[in-house]
Amino acid sequence: REAIVTKFKRDNHLDFNINQIVVSNGAKQSVANLSLTLLDEGDEVIILAPYWVSYYEIIKLGGGTPVILSAGIEQDFKVTADQLRGAITDRTKLVLFSSPCNPTGSVYTHDELKSMADVVAEHDNIYIISDEIYEYINFTDHHVSIGSFENVKDKTITINGFSKGFAMTGWRLGYIGAPLWVAKACAKMQGQFTSGATSFGQKAAAYALAADMTPTHQMKEAYLKRRDLVKSLLSDIPGMKVNNPQGAFYIFPDISYFFGKTNGKITINNADDFCEYLLQSVHVAVVTGSAFGADNCFRISYAASEETLTEAIRRIKEATQQLK
């Protein structure tokens, strides 16, 4: 926890003490802890969509009502402050989002986050959950934490972990920095389920936070190269709409052009059909956008070799050419 306090101050301009840090068995448990401790039955949670697939069901598990606020590819998949203001009701308790985002790779800018912070700051009883697990895979000039803005610093819970920036997926380590009363509640809740994360895992994580970040930076550069490759290849497919993701290791094309088309056997009515079609016809596995609250899109992960990615997109192009 001491290493996390140092990291938050160094990288995010966030000031916590160790009692405000809760280390969990993965960032998803961090989200679950917050849902189970902060929500009463019927409380509304505004989820900025597209969203990580687990958010929706975790909110329901805590008794909350998910309120989906969507942005399409024409907005670079980023919800505006005006949209957020319009979605707030007297039942709103939380605003939940990730930046960089899974599944879109979109990254909210300083000004975009500041405008959303200003909206939330107008409401005493609304808190922000900012999932920043992809912080170190960010192709912009620098990462911005919404909790660093003075008017919401005491209203923001920042989530992070080790699976992405340090490639420690199987270690199952996530953490939050939160107002003290929130951290205490989450620690109490977690104590009834799993207790603490493994001590040896925490030792390794503390070492990682203080170690030379060169391997992480090299990994980011490799992902940037793959992003450019995947974007270029997908952009060459007629009808495929592609944006320019600024983080994570995903791209999220809009495929609505293909809806209603058929190869003579299968008709594509939605993203689910499109993904099933790719799997059955050219043996490429992708994830339908409906899982992330975006029915017009599908997700490709470029956490794979350039050779594999090139071959996969060649097959996708071949499959789309059969649709008339």
Q: In the prediction, which pLDDT does 289 show?
A: 98
C-alpha to C-alpha distance for 290 and 192, rounded to whole angstroms: 33
94-115 pLDDT tens trace: 999 999 999 999 999 999 999 9
The rounded distance, in Å, linking the Cα atoms of 216 and 315 is: 31
- In sequence order, the 6+-apart residues with CB closer than 8 A to the CB of 118 are 81, 151
- Output the average pLDDT for the chain: 97
pLDDT at 199: 94
Closest CA to 13 of 115, 148, 130, 158: 148
Report the pLDDT value the prediction gives residue 221, as an integer from 0 to 100. 97
Run of H or E residues at 202:
helix 199-210
* Per-residue pLDDT at 118: 98
Mean pLDDT value of segment 300-318: 98
pLDDT > 90: what percent of the chain?
99
Cβ atoms of residues 60 and 111 within 8 Å: no
pLDDT digits (tens, 9 = 90+) for 7-61: 999 999 999 999 999 999 999 999 999 999 999 999 999 999 999 999 999 999 9
Which domains does the chain carry?
A: 2-210 (3.40.640.10), 215-321 (3.90.1150.10)
116, 259 in Cβ contact below 8 A? Answer: no
User: In this predicted structure, what is the pLDDT of residue 74?
Assistant: 97
What pLDDT digit, counting tens, does each position of 272-292 carry? 999 999 999 999 999 999 999
